[in-house]
Amino acid sequence: MSNSVEEMSKDLLISRRNGFFDVEDSVIAEADAFCEEYKHFLNTSKTEREAVRYAVSHAEKLGFVPFDPKQTYHAGDKVYYNNRGKALILAVIGEEGCKNGVRIAAAHIDSPRLDLKPYPLYEANDLVLFKTHYYGGLKKYQWTTIPLAMHGRVVKRDGTCVDISIGEQPGEQQFCVTDLLPHLGNEQMTKTLAKAIEGENLNVLIGSRPVRSDDGKDLFKLNIMKLIHDKYGLVEEDFVSGEIEFVPAFQAADIGFDRSMIGGYGHDDRVCAYPALEAIFRCEHPKQTILTVLADKEEVGSDGNTGMNSSFLKYFICDLARQEGLAGYDVLRKSKCLSADVTAAYDPTYASAYEPLNSCYLNNGVGVMKYTGARGKSGTSDASAEFMAEIRKLFYDNNVLWQTGELGKVDGGGGGTVAMFIANLDIDVVDVGVPVISMHSPFEVVAKLDVYMAYRGFLSFFQA
Ligand code: MN
Ligand code: MN
């Protein structure tokens, strides 16, 4: 080591500069190109069911076939396991199979939104509305007075499925939640952000014209139900067996004069799901068997049979193990996983929420988060020093721009990912994901360079 301060600093200290300066212009161009199809994915996959459909249709074009636990698979075989249309596992069988463990990239494809209640339809003072129950951790005031689209599936009593998407096509009708005009908002304006818009006020405006008739009641509600029936064949009771989600109707857009960022709904966690998909699509001959998992229900705690707290991933790996004559737990304990979920990006407008030394920043690459959680690192998987070092080396060796940090200030709040559910299966896990500004809002922002680096990170992990 030289004795000059400059040399010593270079050898001993982290040099912090914007990630842009660490990559060539050609990499910036690759990142911009990569994100074009990502925006298409965002626009066409606003719900977990739509994301699964997108993934399956692309996977099938690339030779993925439905997984059959009774089959014997060989290196290079590509399979997928569609869990009830709402979660998905894609796998490419490795040269070594799974005897040395599998490599997993696990993202989630559900996002905060407004779900319909079982009996949603009502009229009030000659307006027709839907009652909703919000899904996930959202700031309710952000969901008023924005254009909403209606997505989802209703299953009729006879079992027929009706898939709905209204409000995405140019010129198509949209919906909205109303808010009080400021002129009459004196009392509302004295309330806190948490209280100003109540959950029961997130009612979606869906009509204002009645059936033309001189008698009868509920004529406004009846007219809207008739329009829904004419188009989809539904009756009011069918909503009881429906999963209808109201999501922001806007399309993803480049943000900034330099087009360096993308604004859109549902980056959390499609911004990790898409790179994890692309990585498995483009990794042809992995040494170990590789898996991309797209999970549902993360935003409500990962419970339920399509969430990562269920056993579907474990059972899938056990099926892979069995056909190679291995015990499932032997494969699980040797397996490794990147829990692919977003992290908070530093926002100078809300600087006081962050600890600047340990925050992730836009354009500094994919975030590698040793732990998430809240209140003294509770509710998280704290990745081991050994596994952190392994991923750190992997990313260095493969020119993956990466950064690390925490989710805001200590005791400022907190959050979790699917990492702990996978770690609880005796798998080595670390969180690796894209930093997001305005997370959980209807219009989240990410940097294109970070999206691309997530892809490069997952690909290098699969190729290791
Ligand atoms: Mn997430
Ligand atoms: Mn989230």
Q: Is 291 exposed, middle or buried (0-12, 13-18, 19+ CB in 10 A)?
A: buried
- The reported pLDDT for the residue numbered 284 is 86
Q: For residue range 236-290, what is the model confidence (pLDDT) as tens digits?
A: 999 999 999 999 999 999 999 999 999 999 999 999 999 999 999 999 899 999 9
Ligand 1 centroid distance, CA of 414 (Å):
12
CA distance 122 to 222: 9
Q: How confident is residue 2, by pLDDT bands cut at 50, 70 and 90?
A: low
Q: What average pLDDT does this structure show over 313-319? A: 98
- Cα R_g (the chain), whole angstroms: 24
Residue given tokens 């392994």 in the structure block: 390
**Are 241 and 155 a contacting pair, CB within 8 Å?**
yes
**Are 283 and 455 a contacting pair, CB within 8 Å?**
no
- The reported pLDDT for the residue numbered 462 is 98
Pick from 337, 325, 392, 333: which is nearest to 365 by CA? 392
- Residue 421 dihedral angles phi and psi, to the nearest 5°: -70, -35
Nearest ligand atom owner, CA of 273: 1
- The reported pLDDT for the residue numbered 207 is 98
Please, which residues have CB within 8 angstroms of residue 396's CB and are 6 or more apart in sequence?
none
- The reported pLDDT for the residue numbered 100 is 98
- Residue 232 dihedral angles phi and psi, to the nearest 5°: -120, -5
Ligand 2 centroid distance, CA of 369 (Å):
15
**Are 231 and 174 a contacting pair, CB within 8 Å?**
no
- The reported pLDDT for the residue numbered 3 is 79
β-sheet bridge partners, residue 366: 402
Ligand 1 centroid distance, CA of 354 (Å):
18
Enclosing H/E stretch for 263: strand 261-264
0.85 exceeded by pTM: yes
- Residue 230 dihedral angles phi and psi, to the nearest 5°: -60, -40
Ligand 1 centroid distance, CA of 363 (Å):
19
Q: For residue range 323-353, what is the model confidence (pLDDT) as tens digits?
A: 999 999 999 999 999 999 999 999 999 999 9
CA atoms within 13 A on the CB side of 338: 34
- The reported pLDDT for the residue numbered 1 is 60
Q: For residue range 14-62, what is the model confidence (pLDDT) as tens digits?
A: 988 899 999 999 999 999 999 999 999 999 999 999 999 999 999 999 9
Nearest ligand atom owner, CA of 339: 1
As a whole-number percent, the residues of the chain with pLDDT over 90 amount to 97
Please, which residues have CB within 8 angstroms of residue 265's CB and are 6 or more apart in sequence?
42, 46, 111, 247, 248, 250, 252, 442, 443, 444
Ligand 2 centroid distance, CA of 373 (Å):
13
Query: Average model confidence (pLDDT) for the chain?
Result: 97
pLDDT at 412 over 80: yes
Ligand 2 centroid distance, CA of 109 (Å):
10
β-sheet bridge partners, residue 106: 293, 339
Ligand 2 centroid distance, CA of 395 (Å):
25
Antiparallel, parallel or unpaired: β 343-344 and 373-374:
unpaired
Ligand 1 centroid distance, CA of 63 (Å):
29
Structure tokens at 318: 């056990």
SS3 state of residue 330 = helix
Q: Is 322 exposed, middle or buried (0-12, 13-18, 19+ CB in 10 A)?
A: middle
Ligand 1 centroid distance, CA of 171 (Å):
32
Please, which residues have CB within 8 angstroms of residue 369's CB and are 6 or more apart in sequence?
343, 404, 405, 406, 407, 430, 431, 432, 433
**Is the bond preceding 126 in cis, omega lying within 30 degrees of 0?**
no
pLDDT at 366 over 80: yes
CA distance 238 to 218: 18
**Are 354 and 409 a contacting pair, CB within 8 Å?**
yes
Q: What average pLDDT does this structure show over 73-101? A: 98
Structure tokens at 392: 């750190």
Structure tokens at 437: 């500004």
Ligand 2 centroid distance, CA of 362 (Å):
18
Q: For residue range 151-188, what is the model confidence (pLDDT) as tens digits?
A: 999 999 999 999 999 999 999 999 999 999 999 999 99
H runs (alpha helix) in 117-259? 193-196, 219-232
Measured over all CA atoms, what is the biggest interatomic distance in the chain, rounded to whole angstroms? 95
Ligand 2 centroid distance, CA of 299 (Å):
5
- The reported pLDDT for the residue numbered 390 is 98
Q: How far is CA 128 from its chain centroid?
A: 32
**Are 381 and 371 a contacting pair, CB within 8 Å?**
yes
Nearest ligand atom owner, CA of 308: 1
SS3 state of residue 15 = coil
